[in-house]
Amino acid sequence: MNSLDKDYADGLLDNCDPPCLTLYQPTHRHYPENQQDPIRFGNLVKALEESLLKKYQESEIGPLLEPFLALAVDHGFWNHTLDGLAVFGAKSMFRVCRLQRPVAELTVVADNFHIKPLMRILQSADRYHILGLSRNEIKLFEGNRDVLDEIEPAQGIPRTMREALGEEVTEPHQTVASYGGVGAGHSPMHHGHGGREPEVDIDTERFFRAIDRAVLDQHSRPSGLPLILAALPEHHHLFHEVSHNPFLMHESIDIYPDDLSSVEELRQRAWKLMEPHYLARLSTLVEEFGNANSKGLGDDDLVQVAKATMGGRVAKLLIEAQREIPGRINPVTGDVELDQLTDPEVNDILDDLGRKALKKGGQVIVVPSERMPTKTGIAAIYRY
């Protein structure tokens, strides 16, 4: 699996060598519902092929569709799906991302990848990571208020102390001696020397430092998500002491994940820690918008926000979750033209504004409708 957060942060989905193939599909976690998923995927791949045939030769289409067709018959993959699927293919790349939220079925062949559905997932305010940490190994999880899943650590992140330290792991110094006589009936006894416990503590600290650096570089920094530590209480202080991860939350879960009865129990503990921060963050944004709006530095008028977004004036943009406003935005003037989503050339204006605000260096937050400070589906805080 590819890392959606890292691919998005690194800009790998911004450009490609056309034709760029995009496929979205809702999927299912459990049997028997998941039995239909590969069939539906195959139908979507056929839709991609039909679209390609309108412009490209079969000899060009074959290599493009080959990884899609291989995925269609990968039984191991289809037995471990989540709630949605995003697949991106081009001449020089193929990326597969399992999603923790459902997406509508969609296939697009264009000069760029279609990434708007990802924005609402990536910018939602309730997402977080969990680092399960022991002296000898780690586990990583990604979740939101409703679901939590274990994820594969990014390439280069050591899973165990042995992977992190290699041959530098301190081995106990042992000597062999005989006590109580020699000869038949007497076995040599092994005794450790050299202060093993301090050496273990040194190895643990070095392991924690390596994990902290790797998780920060490969997960926290690309995603910007809060990181919750799940470890035995005796490991909390040391990890917080050596950590340089600004996304690490002060509160921790006082047990290693394997010692819990289920991932669901881990999610419940994590959300108990996350929810106050989540609500406080939304409350702060609402208050910030109110203050900005009273000073003429905020707006909830779609037309005015569109013009400000195109002009790079938006510092923070709050978008109502699940809200759609179909239409077009003039990329030069910012003028808005409302329309119907049934037109294939019509997009969701809110998603378009969010994507543009991000490219202009703004911050985008997808907010539940009950927490939005406006009724228009959008709230902007301006830089000036």
Give the whole-number percent of the chain exceeding pLDDT 70: 89
pLDDT at 86 over 60: yes
For range 228-233, the mean pLDDT: 98
List Cα–Cα distances, 291 to 94, 169, 277, 369, in angstroms. 45, 55, 21, 20
For range 28-49, the mean pLDDT: 96
Q: How confident is the model at residue 342 (pLDDT cuts 50, 70, 90)?
A: low
Output the CA angle 366-321-80, nearest 5 degrees: 90
Q: Specify the amino acid at residue 71.
A: L
The residue assigned the tokens 């530098």 is 168
User: For residue 73, what are the contacts with CB-CB under 8 A and spacing of at least 6?
Assistant: 38
Is omega for the bond preceding 19 within 30 degrees of 0, making it cis?
yes
224, containing H or E segment: none
Residue 380 or 1, more confident: 380
- pTM score: 0.81
* Per-residue pLDDT reduced to its tens digit, 93-116: 999 999 999 999 999 898 888 887
Give the whole-number percent of the chain exceeding pLDDT 90: 70
For range 253-282, the mean pLDDT: 97
CB 40 within 8 A of CB 25: yes
For range 158-177, the mean pLDDT: 71
pLDDT at 337 over 50: yes
- Give me the pLDDT at residue 176, please: 45
pLDDT at 71 over 80: yes
User: For residue 326, what are the contacts with CB-CB under 8 A and spacing of at least 6?
Assistant: 338, 339, 340, 341, 343, 346, 347, 348, 349
CB 240 within 8 A of CB 114: no
* Per-residue pLDDT reduced to its tens digit, 288-333: 999 999 999 999 999 999 999 999 999 999 999 888 888 888 888 8
Q: How confident is the model at residue 190 (pLDDT cuts 50, 70, 90)?
A: very low
The candidate with the shortest Cα–Cα distance to 126, out of 267, 317, 256, 29, is: 267
Residue 87 or 167, more confident: 87
CB 334 within 8 A of CB 307: yes
Structure tokens at 299: 């707006």
Structure tokens at 165: 């330290």
The candidate with the shortest Cα–Cα distance to 200, out of 230, 176, 228, 235, is: 235
For range 231-238, the mean pLDDT: 96
Averaged pLDDT score across all residues of the chain: 89
CB 336 within 8 A of CB 328: yes
Q: How, if at all, do strands 314-320 and 363-367 pair?
A: parallel
- Distance (Å, rounded) from C-alpha 321 to C-alpha 312? 23
